[in-house]
Every structure is written in C-alpha cells, then in structure tokens.
Amino acid sequence: MTTTVAAPAATAPVAAARAERRWTQHGLLFVAPFMVIYAAFLVWPLLLGFQMSLSSVNIAGTNTGLVGFANYAEAFSDPQMWSSLWNTVVFTGMSTVPLVLIGLGLALLVHNLRFARWLWRLSFFAPFLLPSAVVSLLWLNMIYQPNFGLLNGTLGTDILWLGDKGTAMLSVVITTVWWTVGFNFLLYLAALQSIPEHLYEAAAIDGASAWDKLRSITLPLLNRTTGLIVVLQLLASLKVFDQIYLMTGGGPEGATRPIIEYAYEAGFTGYRIGYASAVSYILFVLIVIVSLAQLRLLRRREEARS
C-alpha cells in the first residue's frame, strides 16, 4: 500500500499571500484618514486653482467663463510679472549662500565649544521661533528706523535702509538671515554630532591639522545635509512674502516686490483671481523645476562618489 504525504511547503506561498493581503487591507484602512485629508486640502485645491487659472473669475466668484491660457499669455507679456519674478530670484540668490555658510559656521563653533553649549544653541535657534510679524516690526522700528534706529545710530549715518532701492533688498536679506539661519544651524549641528569621533582620532594620529580634518572628514560627511539644506532654502526663498510685505510693501518702486506679492495684489487688490492663479502656477512650475534639477544634481554626485 502506498501512502501519500502532502508537502506543507506547497501551501506556504498561499498562506503568505493571504497574510500579505490582509496586512495590505489593514494598511489602507490606516492611511485612509490621511489620504482623505490630503485629497481634500491639497489635491482638490490644486486642481481647483488650475481650473480658476483658465477662467476670468473675480474675487466675488462671478464671471467664471473659461478663457483658456489667456491669463498665462498675459502674465508672460507683463513686465511687472517678470520684474517681481526677478526680485524673487535675486532674493533667493542673495539669501541662500549666507544662510548655508553662516549656518555651517555656527554649527562648527558650537560643536567645538566645551562650555555652555545649551546657551549657544538656544541663542542661535531662538530667532527662528519668532513669528514673521514680530521679526519684521522689530527690524523695521528698532534697527532700520532712519532717525533713531540702532544701525544708523551705530554707524553714524542717516541711510534709508528700507526706503532706498539700492539697500532695500539687502536689508530684507539681512533680516531673513538673522531670522532663519537657526534652522540650518540646527540641522548642521545634528549632522556634526553623528560623525564618529574615531575618524578624527585616526586623523590626529596621522598628523592631520584642524583644517585637514575639516576638509577631508567633516565637509565630505556633511554633503547630504548640505544638499538637503540647499533644497529647503531654495524652496523657502522662492516663496518669500511675509517679511518683504511687512517691511517694505514691495517698495520702493517695486524694487523688492516678490512674485507672490504680485499675485496677491492681482487677486485681492485687482480682484482678478483667475489671473492671480495663473501667476501662482507659473511660480509653482518654477519651484518644481528647481527642485527636480537640484535633486538630480545631488543624485549624480552620490553616484559619482559611489
């Protein structure tokens, strides 16, 4: 008589597939609340905004007829749009480099200190916690005030820092650097603390100087953090609005007006929501292009190192 024994291994893939399917179903249930909120407050407004950019809708919600890409054509032919876009690019270029370098310098300073580290960390990061309105009013009324401001009083000058086309953008950049550099400082400090100490000890045994350690160990191991900071800073600078609007109102003579303020004026002063939406989507496409280009550049650097 022949006895046949079923191999339990044959049913193992089926059982594994069923278990995986159950986990998948439960996982979808877990993420469903987030997906609903994400779709309601991000995806739907994004689609609705694009639809509005193709119409002539005003702030009252009337005149909703479609005009196609006429709003985009008007925006591209409007010199004020290009001027505000250029101001945004100038602000981004002027603010990104010092925010990265100063953040790195402060992190290196605090990382190498041996006393009261908590005080230095708090001092450098505290301004980042302030609201934009507080920062703007502080610098506007206390630092840049022409008659009795701290800056003119210290330098013995009477410069209109925010009222002159030659200094307005630089003044806003200085305020922004003071306000937001603490975030980059914190990211760099966390990255520095994750570098193994034995690397520096081995370099010291080989006779490496402090500069050699910085150039050959610290900076290469901070490349990923630097890439992240640059991407985040570019995105934040391209979306600048608060401090410029509060400190200069886009002036003098539109010298500091960013593209978001231009869209704001078109929508809430000119009452042209459709045109303002088109300008906003032009900025959106620019931000996407910059982000993808930066991420691709970082990926190529990582591949070159590996």
One pLDDT digit (tens) per residue for the chain, 306 residues: 455 545 555 565 665 666 556 656 667 778 888 889 989 998 998 899 899 999 888 887 777 788 889 999 999 999 999 999 999 999 999 999 999 999 999 999 999 887 888 898 999 999 999 999 999 999 999 999 888 889 988 888 888 999 888 899 999 999 999 999 999 999 999 999 999 988 888 888 888 888 888 888 999 999 889 988 998 999 899 999 999 999 998 888 889 999 999 999 998 888 889 999 999 999 999 999 988 888 888 788 777 776
99 within 8 A of 181, measured Cβ to Cβ: yes
Neighbours of 108 (CB within 10 A): 17
46, 138: one domain? no
DSSP state of 66: B
DSSP state of 214: I
192, 281: one domain? yes
Q: Domain range spanning residue 39?
A: 8-53
What is the C-alpha separation between 271 and 57, in angstroms, rounded? 9
159, 38: one domain? no
98, 240: one domain? yes
Enter the tokens of residue 128: 């980042």
pLDDT of residue 1: 47
| 44 inside domain | yes
Indicate the residue type of 66: L
* Structural domain total, the chain: 2
Left (φ > 0), alpha (ψ -120 to 50) or beta: where does 61 sit? left
| 17 inside domain | yes
Query: To which residue do tokens 């290469």 refer?
Result: 220
254, 129: one domain? yes
DSSP line for 30-62: HHHHHHHHHIIIIIHHHHHHHHHHTB---TTS-
pLDDT of residue 83: 94
What is the C-alpha separation between 155 and 222, in angstroms, rounded? 38
What is the C-alpha separation between 73 and 260, in angstroms, rounded? 18
Nearest to 134 by CA among 122, 124, 142, 123: 142
